């Protein structure tokens, strides 16, 4: 999902005097192990699909991390748009000639229009593209990450983590729902508030949830116990952006992440786990938010801080 969809056809918008809302309508086609011929779904097939995912975007960052944790790098190729883009589309400005080397397109929008010439909504990441046809298959980001685990299991690396443990699934779904509504979306509820009242309400909701997480992590190494799950992936991509972006840019400034001992130790623990920190690009994150959100930051000035060296210090969570 683009974090800058307020520019036009996507899922973030703020109307003066109103609370922020996110358009959550996506292409619901799936890639599954045994597709029903009448469903329109695509078959799991190594080497056929390309994940387009920007390191700047927290929603795409989830898919990048899951792909790495599960060892699917040689099974699903990946293209990475640059962090700054126009109102029309994510663009491949980091690639030679500004063109994705596999799909041969300068804009992700081209793959969407190949699927539907009248595609009416935002050009979002992550998106899975069929390399054979150049058409987007799906951009349904929560389903993509779920299917990477369940539908691509035959191709996971040995020792891949059990991101969706069956014995904890009911509780985990409830935890992830609260994380999504109150934290992942909560920072946007503050940043794109259309009135003082909606900002104040969003701010209170966000920090109520962060306090709940701080308490939950007091006795657990990870959200669901001693092992990493999908819930941790979904929280991490917001936490890793909190001090560099959300604290100042989105006015989520009651305190910094570094001032919440359990969450800060937990976030560092994940950051130092292979699959997490190696898929974080702070420079791209800051460039995206501060340069693309011109309504919030009209001059496009990117702050030099904060000091990010603490991410590699011992977490104390072992």
Q: Which of 188, 199, 246, 290 is catalytic?
A: 188
What is the rounded CA–CA span in Å between residue 10 and residue 32? 26
90 is in an annotated binding site: yes
CA angle 118-122-127, nearest 5°?
95
Exposed, middle or buried by CB within 10 Å (0-12, 13-18, 19+), for 159? exposed
CB-count burial class (<10 Å; 0-12, 13-18, 19+) for 168: middle
Of the residues 57, 252, 289, 290, which is catalytic?
A: 57
Both structure tokens of 129: 């593209």
Asked whether the beta carbons of 248 and 187 are under 8 A apart, the reply is no
Active site residue 119: no
Tell me the DSSP string of 85-150. --SS--B-TTSGGGS-TTT--SBTHHHHHHH-TT--S---SSEEEETTTTEEEE--HHHHHHHHHH
DSSP structural state of residue 12: E
Q: Secondary structure of 23-67 in the HEC alphabet?
A: CCCCCCCCEECCCCCCCCCEECCCCCEEEECCCCCHHHHHHHHHH
Annotated binding site for glutathione: 90
The residues annotated as belonging to the active site are: 57, 188
Give the residue numbers of the binding site: 90
């Amino acid at each position: 999902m683009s974090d800058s969809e307020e520019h036009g056809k996507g899922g973030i918008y703020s109307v003066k005097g109103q609370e922020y809302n996110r358009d959550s309508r996506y292409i619901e086609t799936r890639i599954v192990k045994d597709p029903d011929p009448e469903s329109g779904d695509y078959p799991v097939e190594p080497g056929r699909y390309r994940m387009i995912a920007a390191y700047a975007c927290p929603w795409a960052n989830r898919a990048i991390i899951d792909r790495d944790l599960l060892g699917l790098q040689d099974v699903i190729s990946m293209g990475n748009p640059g962090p700054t883009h126009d109102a029309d589309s994510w663009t491949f400005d980091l690639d030679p000639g500004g063109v994705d080397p596999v799909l041969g397109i300068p804009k992700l929008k081209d793959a969407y229009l190949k699927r539907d010439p009248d595609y009416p909504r935002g050009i979002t990441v992550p998106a899975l593209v069929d390399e054979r046809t150049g058409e987007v298959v799906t951009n349904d980001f929560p389903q993509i990450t779920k299917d990477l685990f369940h539908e691509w299991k035959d191709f996971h690396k040995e020792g891949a983590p059990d991101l969706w443990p069956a014995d904890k699934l009911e509780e985990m779904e409830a935890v992830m729902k609260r994380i999504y509504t109150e934290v992942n979306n909560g920072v946007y509820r503050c940043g794109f508030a259309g009135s003082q009242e909606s900002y104040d309400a969003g701010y209170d909701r966000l920090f109520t949830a962060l306090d709940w997480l701080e308490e939950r992590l007091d006795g657990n190494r990870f959200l669901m116990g001693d092992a990493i799950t999908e819930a941790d992936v979904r929280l991490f991509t917001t936490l890793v952006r909190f001090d560099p972006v959300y604290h100042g840019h989105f006015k989520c400034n009651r305190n910094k992440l570094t001032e919440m001992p359990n969450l800060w130790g937990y976030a560092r623990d994940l950051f130092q786990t292979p699959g997490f920190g190696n898929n974080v690009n702070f420079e791209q994150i800051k460039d995206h938010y501060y340069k693309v959100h011109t309504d919030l930051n009209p001059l496009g000035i990117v702050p030099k801080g904060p000091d990010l060296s603490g991410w590699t210090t011992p977490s104390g969570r072992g």
